[in-house]
Amino acid sequence: MENAVIVGTYQFIGFHLCRSLLEDGETVYGVSYPNLQLEDSEDKQLEIGRNANYEEIGWEEKFKGNSGKIIYDCYDILNSDKIISQIKNDLHIESNIQDLTDRKHELIFLGNVLDFTRHEEELFPMLKSIGIPFRFIYYPTVFGPWQPKEFLFVQLLEDCNDIELSELEYKEDAIFIDDAAAATKKLMMETSTACLFLTSGIKNHWMHGKKAIKEFPVKIPRYQIPSCLQSYTVDNKNNIADNLEMQRRHIKMYKW
């Protein structure tokens, strides 16, 4: 694989994808979104910062390297608006467009499937007008170590008293973060499909996960996956109960 730049290295999916690529011996350059604070970034930095193949670079440097993949983690359901605005501003700068063109970069965006319509309206036309190769990979709920606190699984695992169920969380399917990272890595190298949607292939998998933690009443809204998204079923290496146990142990490790 060519060198990868991951924008949002300490975001949920970006971090796990970065770690997975480093474990394969790939070179990864990490970039953080400006003015986007993450409370767990120091712990994540300690985990991957010791790897000789990892280098953290500044926001302005990400397009300056040799040809490769520029990967944006846009999955953050609380800061999606900020992230999209930063991407749009970044790609309106003429010198950035020139760097992308000259160095033959490919842009890959990792997003929450519930953000598809907004991406289609705000990012797709701009990217097409620029003429840079781009792809989008979308996800349902992704869970596991470092899952953000706004997701229901985290709140149930932490036994929160006041549960806040986000309407921005996709509730018809769920995939474990390691499986998501492995599938993403494979798809980046083996396909050029413009828009993909990762699935577990297991009916009501999100609901199975919720029930494996505790009983909590939830109404599941139906969302029609856009027909232009090609589905890809990940390899579920463990059952959902075992994966949730890993997440539970991780929460205990960092909470107490």
Euclidean distance between CA atoms 128 and 232, whole angstroms: 24
pLDDT score recorded for residue 39:
84
pLDDT score recorded for residue 191:
82
Q: From the CB of residue 132, how many other CB atoms can be counted at a distance below 10 Å? A: 17
Q: Write down the pTM of the prediction.
A: 0.95
pLDDT in tens, 100-153: 999 989 999 999 999 999 999 999 999 999 998 999 999 999 999 999 999 999
pLDDT score recorded for residue 173:
97
Query: What pLDDT tens digit does each residue of the chain (256 aa) get?
Result: 668 999 999 999 999 999 999 999 999 999 999 988 888 899 999 999 899 999 999 999 999 888 789 999 999 999 999 999 999 999 999 999 999 999 989 999 999 999 999 999 999 999 999 998 999 999 999 999 999 999 999 999 999 989 999 999 999 999 999 999 999 999 998 888 899 999 999 999 999 999 999 989 998 888 999 999 999 999 999 999 999 999 999 999 876 4
Within a 13 Å sphere around the CA of 69, how many CA atoms are in the beta-carbon half?
Answer: 25
Q: What is the 3-state secondary structure (H, E, C) of the chain?
A: CCCEEEECCCCHHHHHHHHHHHHCCCCEEEECCCCCCCCCHHHHHHHHHCCCCEEECCHHHCCCCCCCEEEEEECCCCCHHHHHHHHHHHCCCHHHHHHHHHCCCEEEEEEEHHHHHHHHHHCHHHHHHHCCCEEEEEECEEECCCCCCCCHHHHHHCCCCCCCCCCCCCCCCEEEHHHHHHHHHHHHHHCCCCEEEEECCCCCHHHHHHHHHCCCCCCCCCCCCCCCCEEEECCCCCCHHHHHHHHHHHHHHHHC
pLDDT score recorded for residue 255:
66
Residue 2, Cβ density class (10 Å: 0-12 exposed, 13-18 middle, ≥19 buried):
middle
Residue 222, Cβ density class (10 Å: 0-12 exposed, 13-18 middle, ≥19 buried):
exposed
pLDDT score recorded for residue 94:
93
